[in-house]
């Protein structure tokens, strides 16, 4: 019988045998972000379209080409979130979180949606981890945010990453830069793509981010933003670098980084690798001091970053980084007969309440098939219960790796007997 349907192009399933890899990475991200004082925020998967149009920017590829936008039955235009920052900023503003004290530090795990050509490291549904900071204009906050990202990469043992930083200034100094860019790109109007021609009037900085080979080549000779920074932005960028130097974080200044979203100001940064091909940016972020005002709030300087989980896992695979599976089955209890099945069910429940992963037969297999299954799922220990074991209140536990066997009690002293056996087994293993 043929399948009714398959997964939509540009989406991927995370299967049970793979989910531990995601959980491992997510757990490290949670621990590291907590060490820096971040707490999780969860926002809706869809928002009013104007949130992204205003927040992300009308001249970005995301808004112009990639958003999943539709009308509800009530006639509202809503959009599946293409990124995490706009929704988090809306929540901060709507719930007046600044009244709880500044700075506000929020972390998130989100699924995002962009309609673009699927390829390695670029999906239509993808997942991000992000950190957001609201209520500080200090350059120390920029450096701390970058350090938090670096800490996560270090904990994951990811190498071959380079941190590239830049400052794209504030609206004050960007006005002069935009003028210089426009004058430069005017010379190449006949060669620019249609999208960049429209950007030339509205936001010429977006041309620097164009993926067209022709536009990218032209952009190589464009003026650099670092030559147009005002005194305040220049001092801020210098201070960020000093903090990074004190923290021992290595970086290079790349004047061509502008990031793909319009809300960025001053510091922008990317962690980039060459080991997964063209889609080499695994983390990107920076400041967006005007975002809250753009969404209707009072001035609240802000900054943050997002990491793509799919790309991060690709990098770890390419670099041969092993991800441990902590969800191993500790004990498989095989049973012969109805009374034994009931006892196995009882014992499994008792150990699970102690946090031990235990499995027993719920399919109706014979003993031989049960033991094959125990081996297939990688159970560390196996135990067989039949009439003799029930009568004697004792059973034999077998270490599936070494073959060593232990006799333990299966009466009310079962949990203690099993724990003592495991301790003894571990000590014997270490002694060898």
> How do residues 168-210 score in pLDDT, each as one tens digit?
999 899 888 889 989 999 999 889 998 888 888 888 888 887 8
Q: Which residues pair with 332 in a beta bridge?
A: 359, 382
What is the pLDDT at residue 203? 83
What is the pLDDT at residue 429? 63
pLDDT range class, residue 430, cuts 50, 70, 90? low
For residue range 322-354, list pLDDT tens digits in order: 998 877 899 999 999 999 999 999 999 999 999
pLDDT at position 59 over 80: no
Q: What is the largest CA-CA distance in the chain?
A: 93
The CATH number of domain 19-170+230-318, selected from 3.40.50.920, 3.40.50.2000, 3.30.450.70, 3.30.930.10: 3.30.930.10
Tokens of 277: 């091909």
pLDDT range class, residue 409, cuts 50, 70, 90? very high
393: left (phi over 0), alpha (psi -120 to 50) or beta: left
Distance (Å) of CA 386 to CA 337, 381, 407: 7, 17, 14
Structural domain boundaries of the chain?
Answer: 19-170+230-318, 331-423
User: Apex CA 279: angle with CA 247 and CA 64, to 5°?
Assistant: 105
pLDDT range class, residue 431, cuts 50, 70, 90? low
Helices within 258-401 (DSSP H only): 291-294, 309-318, 338-352, 367-376, 387-392
Number of C-beta neighbours around residue 33 at 10 A: 23
pLDDT range class, residue 260, cuts 50, 70, 90? low
**Mean pLDDT, range 219-236, rounded to an integer:** 93
Please state whether the predicted TM-score (pTM) of the whole model is above 0.85.
yes
- Looking at every residue in the chain, the average pLDDT score rounds to 93
- Give the CATH class of 331-423: alpha beta
pLDDT at position 62 over 90: no
Residue 202 makes CB contacts below 8 A (sequence gap 6+) with 58, 59
């Amino acid at each position: 019988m043929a399948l009714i349907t398959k997964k939509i192009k540009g989406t991927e399933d995370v299967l049970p045998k793979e989910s531990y890899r995601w959980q491992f990475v997510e757990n490290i991200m949670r621990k590291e972000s907590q060490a820096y004082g971040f707490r999780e925020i969860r926002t809706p998967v869809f928002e009013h379209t104007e949130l992204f149009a205003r927040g992300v920017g009308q001249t970005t590829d995301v808004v112009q080409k990639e958003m999943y936008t539709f009308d509800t039955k009530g006639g509202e235009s809503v959009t599946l979130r293409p990124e995490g920052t706009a929704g988090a900023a809306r929540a901060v503003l709507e719930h007046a979180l600044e009244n709880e004290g500044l700075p506000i530090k929020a972390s998130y795990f989100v699924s995002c949606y962009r309609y673009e050509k699927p390829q390695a490291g670029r999906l239509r549904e993808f997942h991000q981890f992000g950190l957001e900071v609201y209520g500080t204009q200090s350059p120390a906050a920029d450096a701390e945010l970058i350090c938090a990202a670096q800490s996560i990469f270090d904990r994951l043992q990811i190498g071959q990453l380079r941190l590239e930083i830049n400052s794209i200034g504030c609206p004050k100094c960007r006005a002069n830069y935009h003028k210089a860019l426009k004058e430069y790109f005017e010379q190449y109007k006949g060669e620019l793509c249609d999208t960049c021609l429209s950007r030339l009037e509205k936001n010429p900085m977006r041309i620097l981010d164009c993926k067209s080979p022709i536009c990218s080549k032209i952009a190589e000779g464009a003026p650099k933003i670092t030559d147009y920074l005002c005194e305040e932005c220049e001092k801020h960028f210098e201070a960020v670098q000093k903090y990074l130097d004190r923290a021992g974080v290595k970086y290079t200044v790349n004047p061509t980084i502008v990031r793909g979203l319009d809300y960025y100001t001053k510091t922008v940064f990317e962690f980039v690798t060459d080991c997964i091909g063209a889609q080499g940016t695994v983390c990107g972020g920076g400041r967006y001091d005007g975002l809250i005002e753009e969404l209707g709030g009072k001035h609240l300087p802000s900054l943050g970053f997002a990491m793509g989980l799919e790309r991060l896992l690709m990098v770890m695979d390419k670099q041969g980084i092993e991800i441990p599976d902590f969800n191993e089955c500790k004990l498989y209890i095989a049973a012969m007969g109805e009374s034994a099945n009931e006892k196995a069910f009882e014992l499994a429940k008792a150990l699970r309440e102690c946090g031990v992963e235990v499995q027993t037969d719920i399919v109706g297999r014979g003993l031989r098939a049960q033991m094959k299954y125990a081996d297939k799922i990688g159970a560390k220990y196996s135990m067989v219960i039949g009439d003799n074991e029930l009568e004697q209140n004792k059973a034999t536990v077998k270490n599936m790796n070494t073959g060593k066997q232990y006799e333990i009690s299966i009466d009310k002293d079962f949990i203690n007997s099993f724990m003592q056996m495991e301790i003894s087994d571990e000590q014997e293993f270490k002694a060898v």
